[in-house]
Structure 1
Amino acid sequence: MTIEWHYTDHGRLGVMSVSGYLGAHAVPRFGGAIGWAFARGTGPLILDLTALKGWSVEGQRAIADAAARLAAHGRALELAAIPADGSVVPHAAQQPVPVHPDLDTALAAHHAVTDQPVRQWRTDTPNRNTISR
């Protein structure tokens, strides 16, 4: 099983919703999605894990790596609705990754207005992305 993702640009921040299972086989796809979101955003990136069925140690490490990658460029990665089986353990020199109980709480923490038009992108099939506006 791999992951699917959906990215929403809220102007000052981005939200990447991930579904499926973030295991070792999905790490390259996840890294590509993070790179894609990094190239299009400028502020914090909220990783919405509401629909994530679970993650492996490799998946958690990939999230910690994504947080470090964003932090190196002055941007934050925050998590919303992590799976019940744990939390992300950051690298020793890395700041903890903020975790919100759900996406609404994460958006509220950034005073994001959810009723304004946003741009959205999502995976359509495992090998193709679509853009909808």
Structure 2
Amino acid sequence: MTIEWHYAVEDTFGVLSVAGHLGPQAARRFSGAVGWVVARGTGPVIVDLTELRGWSTEGQLAIIEAARRLADAGRGLELAAIPADGSLVPDGDCPDIPVHHDLATALAAHTRNREAADDGQQQAWRTDGWPAG
């Protein structure tokens, strides 16, 4: 089983949405998505797990590694809507990973300090299997 992902760049942050199950087989695909994210956009990245059905230990380790990769690039990682089957427990040398209850809360944390004017510009990328919206 694998995952599907969608990445959108907002004004000051990015949102990486992940669907499926983040298990051992999907961890590599997630790592590839994070590589895509590192190369595009600036600022923190919210990883939206709303459509994630679950994650394994390997999946959680992939999240922790993503936080490290983004920190090395001068960017932060935040989680929105972590799966109900467990919490993320990073080791001592992992960057801080803020966790938001849901995507709306995470977005609100980033948009309340933005200027009211919005240019409406957004860039987005996704895997072929991501549902068209």
CA RMSD of aligned residues (A): 1.9
Q: 1:50 to 1:115 in 2, by over 3 A?
A: farther
1:89 paired residue number: 89
User: TM-score with structure 2 length normalisation?
Assistant: 0.87
Q: Output the amino acid matched with 2:34.
A: I
The gaps in structure 2 that reach 5 residues or longer are: none
The higher-RCO structure (CA 8 Å, 6+ apart) is 2
Bigger CA drift: 68-77 or 97-106? 68-77
1:47 paired residue number: 47
Aligned partner of residue 17 in structure 2, secondary structure: strand
Counterparts in 2 of 1:33-112, with a 5 A limit? 33-111=33-111
Aligned partner of residue 48 in structure 1, secondary structure: strand
Give the number of equivalent residue pairs. 126
2:123 paired residue number: 119
Q: 1:115 to 1:88 in 2, by over 3 A?
A: farther
1:21 paired residue number: 21
Q: Output the amino acid matched with 2:56.
A: S
- Kept after mapping to 2: 8 A contact 1:4/1:18: yes
- Kept after mapping to 1: 8 A contact 2:2/2:26: yes
User: TM-score with structure 1 length normalisation?
Assistant: 0.87
- Kept after mapping to 2: 8 A contact 1:3/1:21: yes
Bigger CA drift: 89-98 or 75-84? 89-98
Q: Output the amino acid matched with 1:118.
A: Q
The gaps in structure 1 that reach 5 residues or longer are: 127-133
- Kept after mapping to 2: 8 A contact 1:46/1:106: yes
Question: Identity of aligned pairs, percent?
Answer: 60
- Kept after mapping to 2: 8 A contact 1:46/1:79: yes
In the aligned structure 2, how far is the partner of 1:122 from the partner of 1:39? 15
